[in-house]
Amino acid sequence: MKHRFPVSWLCRVLEISRSSYYKWIRRRTPQYERDDKQLKHEIEQIFTRSNRTYGYRRVYIYLRLIRKLRVNHKRVYRLMDQMRWKAVIRRKPKRYVRSTPQMTAENILNRQFDAAGPNQKWVTDVTEFRLTNGQKAYLSAIYDLGSGRIISHVVGHANNNPLVFDTFHQAAQTTDARNILLHSDRGFQYTSRTFQKMLKDRGFVSSMSRVGRCIDNGPMEGVWSIIKCEMYHLR
């Protein structure tokens, strides 16, 4: 541009002094700008790898725990805001549908989602997926609050008792521990006499969410939300 138009004319159009222009072209890039450039590269890799699902909080956690970088969360927010990188917005969950249970249990878990170790507190649920061919698929899983792992899961084309029963049998084979607290909602599979007898025979303690209180099973709902938002809806 400066080879086509005189510098003095460009400065006059932009309403800046010539001294400011020459000061700018001679300036050295400060260290913090070089650091920001490198950090933007790290953030872009993490953001892209997550399929644009990570917000600044999860990017910050990844940088600190995985990349072992000492960085402030406000800095991560500022850089992502500059690049207009925002996480995918999650869909609102469906409201709970009431049913008439055969057998119920108290909310023993009572939102105490922390556990000292594995095989102490398990949570379970079933979620639905709508397929592109018009059919539906159902995923049943059991999540261990102590280890933070899915210890069993079963996929089927019907939301029925065998789906839930097979999930429990698969999980029960992973441990000999007894008195494990198994928390669920009040779906018909979990309130059935057959399932409650299975728990009793295996030495498990049944706990159930209150009616219309999905947050009572918050960790399991969180697992579904992450799976659907980051792996299913994007594809």
Strand 181-184 and strand 205-208: the pairing is parallel
Per-residue model confidence (pLDDT) at position 96: 53
Q: Quote the distance between the C-alpha of residue 165 and its chain's center.
A: 26
Specify the residue for token string 């938002």: 229
Q: Which domains does the chain have, with CATH numbers?
A: 7-82 (no CATH), 121-232 (3.30.420.10)
Q: If DSSP states are collapsed to H, E and C, what string results for 113-177?
A: CCCCCCCCEEEEEEEEEECCCCCEEEEEEEEECCCCEEEEEEEECCCCHHHHHHHHHHHHCCCCC
For residue 170, what are its two tokens?
């698969």
Per-residue model confidence (pLDDT) at position 93: 66
Instruction: Encode pLDDT of 87-118 as tens digits.
Output: 876 666 666 556 566 778 899 999 999 999 99
Q: How far is CA 84 from CA 33, 59, 63, 222, 230, in A?
A: 18, 14, 19, 26, 19
Report the share of the chain in percent with pLDDT over 90.
63
Residue 3 pLDDT greater than 80, yes or no: no
**Cα–Cα distance for residue pair 59/80, rounded to 1 Å:** 10
Q: What is the mean pLDDT of residues 8-20?
A: 85
Per-residue model confidence (pLDDT) at position 204: 96
Q: What is the Rg, in whole angstroms, of the alpha carbon atoms belonging to the chain? A: 27
Instruction: Encode pLDDT of 181-214 as tens digits.
Output: 999 999 999 999 999 999 999 999 999 999 888 8
b/e per residue 62-83 (b: at least 16 CB within 10 A): bbeeeeeeebeeebbeebbeee
Instruction: Encode pLDDT of 148-174 as tens digits.
Output: 999 999 999 999 999 999 999 999 999
